Chain A
Amino acid sequence: MDKAMLKVRNLHASVEGKQILNGLDLEVNAGEVHAIMGPNGSGKSTLASVIAGREGYEVTDGQVLYRGRDLLELEPEERACEGIFLAFQYPVEIPGVNNTYFLRAALNAQRKYRGEPELDSMQFLKLIRGKLEILHISDDLMHRAVNEGFSGGEKKRNEIFQMAVLEPALAILDETDSGLDIDALKLVAEGVNRQRSPDRAMIVVTHYQRLLEYIVPDRVHVLSGGRIAASGDADLALKLEEEGYSWLAEGGIQALEGAETGSGGAGAAAGA
């Protein structure tokens, strides 16, 4: 079996008629953590949304294979049940839906999909108890409505907590660091790191290198103009930190020594 968990080939996607992704290539293997960086508007969040199947994102060309299957054919919930998890940049507030109830419903939907028995509330509480502590999520938060009235940090911790409970095969963290102070960032990163495993792949989408100090990636990709402009190891992120993104606009990719440069739409961006 192909060891690549996710294969994105020549992906073109548009939002409201505006082309955002222009031939993006990416391969992510189980056990790897990939960081996707890039300036605002480069298409980072669009990639995350396309993988998760958000409405309004039209794939105009290319394909996305997940565990060898055509991912784009699946409904958003099927993708979730197949093990794809998106930690939202802006977690949605759902007034009236209790956080615990919501998460149990999600877990049971996925278990059912996999042919596993559903958990009753006692079993579920047992399951989540330990995971709550890691992320310093209070019981109180679990009794409130989903994300309603949560602080920015609470929302992001809640996303990572959901990830811990749902145990996805591929997790995409969309700007999980935005709006977090350093303590909250560390907490979130610790939560993520605990979930790294040989069976699980992660894509960390971020604008800043800061998060990558705590979640050290195996590969770093720089997104520009809707495609991967450069790929490298964790050091690439550091270089970006020093030099900023402006070199992308000037086409000065060579300025980044050691970076493997993307070559147009056809270039293979990911290593291995």
Chain B
Amino acid sequence: MTGLTEQWSDALAAAPQEPAPAWLRELRENAVGQFRAAGLPHRKVEAWKYTPMTVFDGLRLTAAEPVPAPVADLPPPLCESSVVVDIRDGALGEVPADLPQGLTVLPLATALERFEERLKPLFEAVELRGATRAFAALNTALATQGLVVHVARDAAGGSAAGRLLLRWGLSAGAAATMGQFRLFVLLDDGARLELVEQYLGSGEAPGDGAAGLNVLCQAELGAGARLSHTRVQAETEQAVLLTSTMLEQARDSRFVYRGFDLGAGLARHELTTRLTGPGAEADIAGAWLLDGRRHVDNHVSVEHLAPGCASEQFFRGVLGGRSRGVFNGRALIQAGADGSSVRQSNANLLLSPLAEMDTKPELEIYADEVEASHGATVGQLDEAAVFYLRSRGLTDGAARRMLTAAFCRAVTDRVADPILAERIGGLLDAAMPSGEQL
């Protein structure tokens, strides 16, 4: 057992139990043991091969106190939204009471009783799944902060007016801590939700040291449900963000994910969706633009467990400075999942001699009536295109910036809301790494 595993295990054991239903208290106690048994991952663990674990050194485990964040501290909302929930330093802010018809948003503690039937199996299931048992166990043991979002049958929680925005921020209050947060998204049959998450820092940076956050999100999509999930992350370089999103998708449900990583010292995102009902679809796209010493790990896994499902993974990366990008995309087609269609694509531009990109698009296929393709590239801008632009009068630098922006636009173009797409495009332009910088 490594020093940090031991240190955190002791901290877990010593942490006071928050009041909770008996079943949850028991799960939390078990999770302490599970964490100790699993231990923190390391480079020999395949899925953590490229992740620098040293960034966790010096982070303390804490249970964040619910301190409503002064709204002024956080950057303005990225988009128009009727419901905004702030989560500052891992602590849930005020949850609005006036919500559109069919939409319920409650702090975890309040929701436990009302949604016990739904939440208990989810709490239990998480221990059985996921490559990163240690961090999941940690979250279960400590995450008293959390949010439950429920959209009732056929309700449109995510119509243009009813968009839910989660506004995250890490400030000085989070320095040297590893906060835990749990999120549940429950969509009944035919329900719709548009969820936008922004991690755009807060007014004050967490100081010199690292500030960590471990967010575990579990989502259930009922038959025909639609979840659109957009996540924009441009935290400061002090931020250490671990997010794990686990979905279950029933028949004909549709999940659309758009993720953008522009910041954080370490951002690691694990996204797993299980297409359990026929006709379910997962449309997953993302981009990272990295500079400095940033490290972004994206691990996406789509499991086709029923016939006639379709999924796409589409990711683009631009790496400058000394940054490092990791993409591990996996698509599994289980026996019997005939008529499945899988597309996977990851293209990267490497701009700096000190940057590195590691990509691994995996296919695991056990059914023959399938269409599957994947591709991955790491390279530079097309010099023929650069010349074409220069022959029309653009400078070399302008031509390259234009082409790099166009390279990323392949992802922003997939953001359905044009206003949101434009704002994200603006953030991307501002984050454009330079090739020369060392």
Contacts and interface: CB of A to CB of B under 8 A. Distances in A.
Indicate whether A and B are direct neighbours in the complex (CB within 8 Å). yes
Given A92-B384, A94-B385, A105-B402, A162 B410 contact: no
A109 B393 contact: yes
A94 B387 contact: no
B410 A96 contact: yes
A106 B396 contact: no
Q: Sorted from nearest, which 3 A-B pairs have the closest CB atoms?
A: A96-B406, A106-B392, A80-B393
A80 B406 contact: no
B425 to A, nearest CB: 11
Interface in A83-136: 86, 88, 91-92, 94-97, 102-103, 105-107, 109-110, 113
A94 B410 CA distance: 11
B394 A105 contact: yes
Contact of B387 (A54, A81, A95): A54
A53 interface: yes
Contact of B394 (A95, A109, A145): A109
B25 interface: no
Contacts of B388: 88, 91-92, 94
Contacts of A145: 406
Contacts of B399: 77
5 contacts: A55-B387, A92-B384, A96-B408, A97-B402, A106-B393
A107 B392 CA distance: 8
Given A92-B385, A96-B407, A109-B395, A76 B402 contact: no
Interface in B370-428: 382-385, 387-396, 398-399, 402-403, 405-410, 413
A166 interface: yes
Nearest to A106: B392
A110 B407 CA distance: 24
Contacts of B395: 77, 109
Contacts of A77: 389-396, 399
A95 B389 contact: no
A81 B389 CA distance: 12
A95 B406 contact: yes
Contacts of B403: 94, 97
Nearest to A147: B388
B406 A97 contact: yes
Contacts of B391: 52-54, 76-77, 79-80, 86
Most buried by A among B393, B395, B403: B393
A110 B406 CA distance: 21
B128 to A, nearest CB: 41
Most buried by B among A54, A75, A91, A166: A54
A98 to B, nearest CB: 8
A235 to B, nearest CB: 33
Give chain B's interface secondary structure class.
helix
Nearest to A107: B393
A79 B395 CA distance: 11
B406 A166 contact: no
A94 B406 contact: yes
Nearest to A83: B393
A96 B390 contact: no
A151 to B, nearest CB: 19
Nearest to A110: B393
A94 B398 CA distance: 15
B383 A55 contact: yes
A263 B408 CA distance: 54
B387 A76 contact: yes
A162 B392 contact: yes
B407 A109 contact: no
Contacts of A96: 405-410, 413
A106 B387 contact: no
B390 A75 contact: yes
A95 B403 CA distance: 9
Interface string A40-58: 0000000000001111000
A166 B391 CA distance: 11
A54 B387 CA distance: 7
B294 to A, nearest CB: 23
A180 B336 CA distance: 50
Contacts of B402: 97, 102, 105
Most buried by B among A94, A102, A107: A94
A76 B390 contact: yes
Nearest to A84: B391
A148 B387 CA distance: 17
Contacts of A166: 392-393
Contacts of A80: 390-393
Nearest to A86: B391
A106 B389 contact: yes
A55 B383 CA distance: 9
Contacts of A91: 388
A75 B392 contact: no
B437 to A, nearest CB: 23
B377 to A, nearest CB: 13
B289 to A, nearest CB: 14
Given A96-B407, A96-B409, A97-B403, A81 B390 contact: no
Given A92-B385, A106-B392, A145-B406, 20 more contacts: A52-B391, A53-B391, A55-B387, A77-B390, A77-B391, A77-B395, A86-B391, A88-B388, A92-B384, A94-B385, A94-B389, A96-B406, A96-B407, A97-B403, A102-B389, A105-B402, A106-B393, A106-B394, A109-B392, A109-B398
